[in-house]
Amino acid sequence: MRIILDAMGGDNAPNAVVKGAVRAVRELDTDVVLVGREEEVRAALAACGGESEPRIRVVNATEVVTMEDEPGMACYKKRDSSMTVALKMLREGEGDAVVSAGSTGALLAGATQFVKRVKGIRRAALGPVIPNGERGVLLIDCGANVDSTPEYLLQFAYMGAFYARKIMGVQEPRVALLNVGTEDTKGGELQKAAFALLKQASDAGRINFVGNAEGSELFTGRMDVLVTDGLAGNVMLKTVEGAAKFLFKQLKGVMYKSTKNKLGALLIKNDLTGMKAMLDPSEVGGTALLGISKPVIKAHGSSDDRAIFNAVRQAVACADADVAGAIAANIGFMKLEKTREE
């Protein structure tokens, strides 16, 4: 297994990326290719004692995609950027997956342009796993497609189910549609049309559709995959992240309010640490770009070396499971007979 890393992507690049890569080759039995400004990458390798690792290769790329670059054109204009070179290497078979903590929009556009979508997939989607105390819930899409069609949501449901089965270990993933109520007739035109398509696929035994779900049900364990358009999904994801930060801030204030509370905090310190780790994005590592023909993992922009390590671990799992292959094998069930794009 060989994982290609965009060494210059993210707030803490290249040091965090390189340090996470060194840990990955030592613990995950995988080779790593670091793509970036060679002098900076090698200096980071030396700083963390990884310069002599035989399973790490450095590929020079002189440019960097920044958050200021226009996402849709960044990889096209910066042909020698670390992100672009990494994606082209994946396309040419020089690695099994790509991990980048760089611009989400640029990575999605670049992956679509150079690696390509699975033939028949209308749009790639971002599928983060939201922790819920059990296996988690795959939220798809969470921002790649602000405007969606019923066919997009149908394809998101299939892709999410394949990911949940192959990566999350759920034998019969329960798929729900995010809506304003649980009744079958709820929602706007998009939700009603998508509901009909999902129910039809479920009746045919191709997915396990459990109906509409409200946002408050995300943590109830009712579903394994929650399907939505990118706008609603992104709002939901950011709200969950913000609420978690607020909760821990308030909890910390309560714990340090008095001597009595401080003593109580000491007694439950390990439990609190475990709960915080469960909600920590660094433990997940990254978000898969589902629908791309080869594994591409988007790590959080503020990823530290632990998050990069976990993103590499996720990339290895995606490559081993061949989620893209499962999508391609079932594309005939995921397309409508007539669409505006045809």
Indicate if the alpha-carbon torsion angle 306, 308, 312, 314 is positive or negative: positive
Report pLDDT for 342: 42
C-alpha 294/C-alpha 318 separation (Å) is 9
Where is 139: in which H helix or E strand?
strand 137-140
Q: pLDDT at position 7, please?
A: 97
pLDDT tens for 300-342 read: 898 999 999 999 999 999 999 999 999 999 999 987 765 444 4
Spatial neighbors of 324 by CB under 8 A, at least 6 apart, are 118, 292, 293, 294, 295
More confident residue, 342 or 21: 21
Q: What is the pLDDT of residues 40-99, one digit of tens each?
A: 999 999 999 998 999 999 999 999 999 999 999 999 999 999 999 999 999 999 999 999
- pLDDT value of residue 340: 42
In CATH terms, is domain 1-121+291-342 a member of 3.30.70.260? no
Tell me: domain 127-281, CATH 3.40.630.30, correct?
Answer: no
C-alpha to C-alpha distances, 156 to 17, 58, 214, nearest whole angstrom: 30, 35, 18
* Lookup result for tokens 């729900």: 176
pLDDT score of 53: 92
What integer is the mean pLDDT of 191-214?
Answer: 96
Nearest-angstrom CA–CA distance, 50 and 54: 9
Q: What are the pLDDT digits (tens) for 231-269? A: 999 999 888 888 878 887 888 888 888 887 888 877 777
Residue 113 is predicted with a pLDDT of 95
Whole-number pLDDT of residue 339: 47
**Euclidean distance between CA atoms 220 and 126, whole angstroms:** 22
Top pLDDT among 270 and 234 is at 234
Residues 89-137: pLDDT tens digits? Answer: 999 999 999 999 999 999 999 999 999 999 999 999 999 998 887 788 9
Is a pLDDT exceeding 50 seen at residue 33?
yes
Spans of all domains in the chain: 1-121+291-342, 127-281
Q: Cα separation of 86 and 80, whole Å?
A: 10
Q: What is the DSSP letter of 114?
A: I
The pLDDT, as a whole number, for residue 341 is 46
Answer whether 1-121+291-342 and 127-281 agree in fold: yes
Number of helices followed by number of strands (H, E) in the chain: 13, 12
